[in-house]
């Protein structure tokens, strides 16, 4: 039986589910390099240019909780199939779009579809691989495939745009999505389907969507709304009010979109910190490291493109290499060490800024990328395993919301730090050094809290 479990065909469903996660990430990384050509082709202004990128992210983030609840009610396999089919249609709309409005429609549809693909796909791993060893191996495979979208997405998107045009960046996803549909129908089962007893928390999903949209808009655009500038105090008050309303609705719901009682479990709370810290201290830096390498270290853009592989390629290589460690180490030690490596990498980047030495930056990016890659996918399986199987879709949604929200918070926070450094030239360190130090501090504090929460429950279990 063990030989069957270690065979290539046993993990074929993991490959199919990994392709779904790949598509969701590739839609961000590849399209980012096609944006200049899209703007030129459709004659977009600055605001429209930004919306081509943000329409997908906003729709994706706002839809996550509702998608998780729907997946829990109607089945995770059905959610994956629905999301993938919608993603095919949306990609074709984007690929053949001749106007800004049609392109935005397609991007919003892609974001909604990606939410179903992620919630359904990750939740299915638990039913395909019920024992810990095979589940860890499966998430290693998924992490390798999904992480490759970050590693190859920008370069591949740029090459496709340069040689075939920006339309093909969208259309190239269609055959892969068709493969996901066929593979899911043939190889992936859902023993818990259907779940007719589950309920969809419509009020909670709507309020959460409004809360996330308001926060995202404020972080991306500041305290303004089309045609008017609104006081920052009003925005903060609206966010706090929506948050309080969301908590009240969820606590009073028999079938909430987000089961807040899950956070009373110290294991779930500790694990939930990991994707949030990674989003702030690792993923946010993807936007700032190229700027650091070009502005502070004076490296040409062509060279920076290749150097960034040191930061992203570990997402492709490390997950499978860390499977053995994840199987044998305690969760507290495994996730703590991963976050500490991210913090050490951030310290190295700060040292590189102070010494103006690109060699230190290269080593630091490899260390940070390796630490993040080792725990990025394993935390997904650990979170799902820590909750009841009927909540797997909602847990997947919460997990992705933490990543998306942490990314937005991280970008806003790091931008503010960089602006503050520019206005305070008397600081004892050069630009970007303070930014990387803050990331190192956040990673270190997150590692300590995560260890304490997980270690507390492990100690209780032993006793």
- What separation, in Å, do the N-terminal and C-terminal C-alpha atoms of the chain show? 33
Cα dist from 114 to 82, 135, 254, 448, 457, whole Å: 10, 23, 27, 33, 34
For the question of whether the overall pTM of this predicted structure is more than 0.75, the answer is: no
CATH 1.20.1250.20 for domain 261-463? yes
DSSP at 261: G
Pick the CATH number of 1-191 from 3.40.50.2300, 1.20.1250.20, 3.40.50.300, 1.10.4160.10: 1.20.1250.20
**Phi and psi dihedrals of 228, rounded to 5?**
-155, 150
**Domain residue ranges of the chain, discontinuous segments joined by +:** 1-191, 201-256, 261-463
Cα dist from 109 to 78, 80, 112, 190, 355, whole Å: 17, 15, 5, 25, 46
In this prediction, residue 2 carries a pLDDT of: 39
Does 1-191 match 261-463 in CATH topology? yes
**Phi and psi dihedrals of 225, rounded to 5?**
-135, 155
Average pLDDT over residues 382-395: 73
Bridge partners of residue 229, in order along the sequence: 224
pLDDT at 287 over 50: yes
pLDDT at 1 over 50: no
pLDDT at 221 over 90: no
**In whole angstroms, what is the distance from residue 203 CA to residue 211 CA?**
12
Contact 74, 195 (CB under 8 A): yes
The winner for highest mean pLDDT among 262-271, 311-320, 330-339 is 330-339
DSSP at 389: G
Provide the sign of the torsion angle of the four alpha carbons 157, 161, 162, 163, taken in this order.
positive
């Amino acid at each position: 039986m063990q030989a069957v479990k270690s065979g290539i065909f046993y993990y074929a469903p993991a490959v199919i589910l990994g392709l779904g996660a790949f598509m969701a990430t590739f839609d961000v990384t590849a399209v980012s390099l096609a944006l200049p050509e899209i703007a030129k082709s459709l004659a977009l202004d600055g605001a429209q240019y930004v919306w081509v990128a943000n329409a997908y992210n906003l729709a994706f983030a706002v839809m996550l909780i509702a998608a998780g609840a729907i997946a829990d009610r109607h089945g995770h396999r059905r959610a994956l199939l629905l999301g993938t089919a919608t993603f095919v249609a949306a990609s074709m709309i984007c690929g053949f779009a001749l106007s800004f409005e049609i392109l935005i429609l397609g991007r919003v549809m892609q974001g909604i579809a990606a939410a179903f693909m992620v919630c359904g796909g990750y939740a299915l791993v638990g039913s395909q691989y019920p024992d810990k060893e095979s589940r860890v191996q499966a998430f290693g495979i998924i992490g390798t495939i999904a992480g490759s979208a970050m590693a190859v997405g920008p370069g591949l998107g740029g090459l496709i745009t340069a040689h075939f045009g920006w339309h093909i960046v969208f259309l190239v996803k269609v055959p892969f999505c068709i493969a996901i549909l066929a593979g899911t129908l043939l190889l992936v089962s859902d023993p818990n389907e259907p779940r007719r007893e589950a309920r969809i928390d419509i009020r909670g999903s709507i309020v959460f969507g409004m809360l996330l949209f308001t926060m995202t808009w404020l972080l991306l655009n500041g305290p303004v709304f089309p045609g008017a500038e609104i006081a920052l105090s009003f925005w903060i008050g609206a966010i706090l009010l929506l948050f309080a309303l969301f908590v009240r609705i969820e606590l009073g719901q028999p079938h909430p979109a987000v089961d807040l009682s899950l956070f009373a479990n110290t294991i779930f709370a500790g694990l939930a910190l990991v994707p949030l810290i990674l989003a702030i201290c690792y993923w946010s830096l993807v936007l700032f490291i190229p700027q650091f390498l070009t502005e502070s270290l004076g490296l040409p853009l062509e060279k920076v493109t290749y150097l960034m592989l040191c930061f992203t390629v570990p997402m492709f290589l490390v997950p499978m290499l860390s499977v053995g460690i994840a199987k044998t180490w305690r969760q507290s030690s495994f996730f703590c060490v991963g976050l500490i490596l991210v913090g050490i990498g951030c310290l190295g980047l700060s040292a590189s800024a102070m010494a103006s030495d690109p060699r230190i930056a290269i080593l630091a990016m490899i260390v940070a990328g390796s630490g993040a890659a080792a725990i990025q996918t394993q935390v997904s399986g650990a979170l799902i395993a820590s909750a009841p199987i009927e909540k797997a879709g909602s847990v997947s949604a919460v997990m992705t919301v933490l990543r998306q929200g942490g990314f937005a918070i991280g970008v806003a926070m790091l931008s503010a730090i960089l602006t503050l450094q520019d206005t305070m030239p008397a600081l004892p360190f050069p630009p970007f050094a303070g930014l990387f130090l803050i990331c190192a501090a956040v990673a270190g504090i997150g590692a300590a809290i995560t260890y304490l929460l997980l270690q507390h429950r492990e100690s209780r279990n032993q006793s």
